[in-house]
Structure 1
């Protein structure tokens, strides 16, 4: 005799139905905490970057023993239009209406001397590369301090949607919830800065591509001759907000 539930249905049918009704388990899609002492958590680094410009460092860390240190020079030439000192970070496959969550900590000892694009989402072909969102730091107009900004479109050309003062000498956490859509009325970006919500806005977040990648580090136009350094630590990409651990950062460990 087959085992039955109290409602008369076979028990295995009830269990199978319950399994399908359970929400999908939360997943961490990418973790970059540099605690391996190298870049094995990442799928590569910028080609042609100077030796030592993309490296694991222990002089300033958010947690653990190591962080990633990215330094840009005028001869970190990726191609005729770009300078890069980056690592290959989270890459996600998306569909219309899906969601991605990311957080990481970043630190600068000195204010940036030029615009430094430190994170973006870019679509893989076909039909061609498509930068859809960018975050960057740049000096204030009076050079008295720095600001952090977020924009959509290729390197922010479709509009800057958030900016704030960027304080050097301390760790900052950036958190993001991307709701992917080609429709500007249906796509959405939520941002957290140092544990506080700072943006919740409908914007276009994707093009026709279904694969999007990110590259933490520094990306620039080739005109700059200044040298800047950014540290990253505790990079997380996940399927839920809870998994990216939004919280206010603590002070940096003494050097």
Structure 2
């Protein structure tokens, strides 16, 4: 890079401002790369988290009445909305076996595809305890008959995951009135040597990678959630669903970390200005706060207070000549480092 300015005390504040702006223009791309580049993240494939306030994220519903699949504002696990699924004996909207009220998402999972699904479920305090099946999430085949190849359900006082051929690789005690978080990793295949599953429950991996058939041969699968149960159950059943996400990487279904709490007083924060900030001439008479960084003395541009004993030198928006070199020296040093780094990368 050709350097049009030489350092010295003869240059004006305007010259230094031009140098600073040129530095920003030349290296803003490199700075953006340094700040932004991180581990590659896959995109979220689909959200069924009800944050639309309705059922529009889903393909269609199977319910006898609107109140059986109600989008509610309480209780919720995250965001503003959740689904309240209710089933009473006799609810049979599609004239099939069992009673149900379910939402359908025609995802049509392809053979060989691999996804992570995360969702949260809460069972009402009076959720029935019966020795028969009550399915709350399933991946159903597009054939006419038989049990789905993947189903999460309650049996008595247990939550179970059952796969094709009635294999039950995981179960846990049922707890009511609390949110259960599931992360389900699956590769879709009818070949038990190719298909596999993994499962996390409430942040803990409870089922390590296990090869199983996850589809029926020659059929596709699609997702359903709500409540589907034996028609022998007389009591009303209520289950809540929230936060459903489908993605191709684990990090994309994990909930975001809580924002860090700021220790600064919001009243003391400066309002950011759009664009490149203008640099005001240094002022005289204002000591540095706490004595931990060099202060700027009002009055004459370019005069800088020395840092307090034992303090570290920090960059500050002042320019000029000083015994320590000031921010201008640090700026030029940073410019040189970036230039050297670019030369090394070329080699």
Scaled to the shorter chain, the TM-score interval is: 0.7 to 0.9
Cα 1:227/1:130, change in 2 over 3 Å: closer
**Which of 135, 159, 180 lines up with 1:117 in the alignment?**
135
Q: Which has the higher contact order (CA 8 A, sep 6+)?
A: 1
Q: How many residues align?
A: 214
Residue pair 2:77, 2:243 contacting (<8 A) in 1 also:
yes
Cα 1:130/1:223, change in 2 over 3 Å: closer
Which residue in the other structure is 1:13 paired with? none
The structure with the greater share of residues assigned to helix is: 2
Task: Give 5+ residue unaligned stretches, structure 1.
Answer: 1-23, 140-145, 249-255
**Which of 159, 162, 167 lines up with 1:151 in the alignment?**
162
Matched, 1:174 2:182: yes
Which residue in the other structure is 1:87 paired with? 103
Matched, 1:41 2:52: no
1:1-255 aligned within 5 A:
26-47=42-63, 49-77=64-92, 78-89=94-105, 91-96=107-112, 98-113=113-128, 114=130, 115-125=133-143, 131-139=148-156, 146-153=157-164, 158-200=166-208, 201-209=210-218, 211-245=220-254
The structure with the greater share of residues assigned to strand is: 1
Residue pair 1:90, 1:237 contacting (<8 A) in 2 also:
no
TM-score norm. by structure 1 comes to 0.76
TM-score norm. by structure 2 comes to 0.57
Residue pair 2:41, 2:251 contacting (<8 A) in 1 also:
no
How far is the alpha carbon of 1:40 from its aligned partner? 1.0
How far is the alpha carbon of 1:185 from its aligned partner? 2.7
- Aligned-partner Cα distance in 1 for 2:74–2:255: 24
CA RMSD of aligned residues (A): 2.5
Larger radius of gyration between Structure 1 and Structure 2:
2
Could you list the runs of 4 or more consecutive aligned residues of structure 1 that deviate by over 4 angstroms after TM superposition? 127-130
Secondary structure of 1:68 counterpart: strand
What whole-Å deviation, never above 9, does each CA across 1:3-31 have from its counterpart, x for those lacking one?
A: xxxxxxxxxxxxxxxxxxxxx97232221
